[in-house]
């Protein structure tokens, strides 16, 4: 199967993040298969782009997919916050940074790491398989209460304690190593009516484990802060999130640094907070037509900000 990724909110990302002058540099901080990168590079022939992804396997896919753009795109293998933290002074600052925080089609359909409960795969869930703890290791190690708290916190799962109890009972009889086995445990652990909902009863548990394995929520504030630090003054940053936990962090991060409503408010320089102007007071969501053509977009939300200069400081 060929990895095919349809970028979410394409019209909205173009509207808010399109280059405003020739020769701009854009960073796609979650490159995936390269859907958004292709959208921008094909639309704006003078744009240059750096694509970042923590998964070397998906970067192989992206390099093939974006080969036609030649030297207009550079690839970075690693976590985005590490890239931003190490971005050397003297380099051109990015004019635009885009984060698409969703998990790609590749990982669900071709990753082979247990991201999906629709097939039986080893419960790994790491984006970077060279380091970190697998989902199966978490399931084997955590006490029942910690498992319940993790599933509730990262998945907002109302039956987290039932599911944690089911996991602990199941692992007494052997290791829970595959995605199909975990999905079956979850289904047995929740009430019958819960299993009949349109949303699969294991969805939130799988989300919770994936978030924990990859530290997605923990790394997000640092990620946004590092990106904002290197963004060009007057540059724009857009973040596409797919669940309320991410969106809440993004919303609070931007709101805490929004000085556009009161330009006289003092800037907390000790905390290194750059000034922002929030361009999307309410997050942008896909319309009915996009959801029909790309159901994966249904929960997407886009927030966009513009970086304002500090007094006496061009950056």
Contact 136/177 with Cβ under 8 angstroms? yes
Give φ, ψ of 249 to 5 degrees.
-65, -45
| CA-wise closest residue to 255 among 219, 303, 208 | 303
| CA-wise closest residue to 99 among 122, 80, 120, 76 | 80
How do residues 115-145 score in pLDDT, each as one tens digit? 988 889 999 999 988 889 999 999 999 999 9
Q: At what angle do helices 203-214 and 216-230 cross, to 10 degrees?
A: 50
pLDDT average, residue stretch 19-30: 96
Query: Which domains occur in the chain, in start order?
Result: 10-107+216-308 (3.40.50.150), 112-214 (1.10.150.170)
Contact 104/58 with Cβ under 8 angstroms? yes
**pTM of the predicted protein model:** 0.89
Q: At what angle do helices 216-230 and 244-256 cross, to 10 degrees?
A: 30
How do residues 43-99 score in pLDDT, each as one tens digit? 999 999 999 999 999 999 999 999 999 999 999 999 998 999 888 766 899 999 999
Give whole-number Cα distances, 163 to 122, 170, 279, in Å: 19, 10, 41
Residue 313's pLDDT band, with cuts at 50, 70 and 90, is: very low
Contact 209/126 with Cβ under 8 angstroms? no
What pLDDT does residue 270 have? 41
Residue 273's pLDDT band, with cuts at 50, 70 and 90, is: low
Between 263 and 241, the more confident residue is 241
What pLDDT does residue 269 have? 46
pLDDT of residue 262 exceeding 70? no
What pLDDT does residue 71 have? 96
């Amino acid at each position: 199967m060929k990895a095919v990724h349809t970028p979410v909110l394409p019209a909205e990302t173009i509207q808010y993040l399109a280059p405003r002058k020739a020769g701009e540099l854009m960073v796609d901080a979650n490159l995936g298969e390269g859907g958004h990168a292709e959208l921008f590079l094909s639309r704006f022939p003078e744009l240059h782009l750096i694509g970042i992804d923590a998964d070397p396997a998906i970067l192989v896919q992206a390099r093939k997919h974006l080969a036609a753009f030649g030297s207009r795109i550079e690839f970075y293998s690693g976590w985005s916050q590490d890239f931003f933290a190490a971005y050397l002074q003297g380099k051109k600052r990015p004019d635009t940074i885009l984060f698409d925080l969703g998990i790609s089609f590749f990982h669900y359909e071709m990753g082979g790491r247990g991201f999906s409960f629709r097939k039986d795969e080893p419960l790994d869930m790491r984006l970077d398989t060279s380091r970190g703890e697998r989902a199966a290791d978490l399931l084997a190690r955590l006490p029942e209460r910690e498992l319940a708290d993790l599933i509730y916190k990262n998945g907002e799962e109302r039956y987290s304690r039932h599911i944690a109890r089911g996991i602990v009972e199941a692992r007494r009889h052997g290791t829970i190593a595959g995605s199909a086995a975990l999905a079956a445990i979850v289904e047995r652990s929740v009430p019958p009516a819960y299993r009949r909902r349109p949303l699969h009863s294991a969805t939130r548990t799988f989300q919770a484990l994936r978030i924990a394995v990859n530290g997605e929520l923990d790394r997000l504030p640092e990620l946004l802060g590092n990106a904002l630090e290197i963004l060009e003054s007057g540059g724009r940053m857009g973040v596409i999130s797919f669940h309320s936990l991410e969106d809440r962090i993004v919303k609070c991060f931007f709101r805490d640094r929004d000085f556009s409503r009161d330009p006289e408010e003092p800037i907390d320089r000790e905390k290194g907070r750059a000034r922002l102007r929030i361009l999307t007071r309410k997050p942008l969501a896909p319309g009915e037509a996009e959801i029909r053509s790309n159901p994966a977009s249904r929960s997407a939300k886009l927030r966009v900000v513009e970086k304002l200069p500090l007094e006496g400081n061009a950056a």
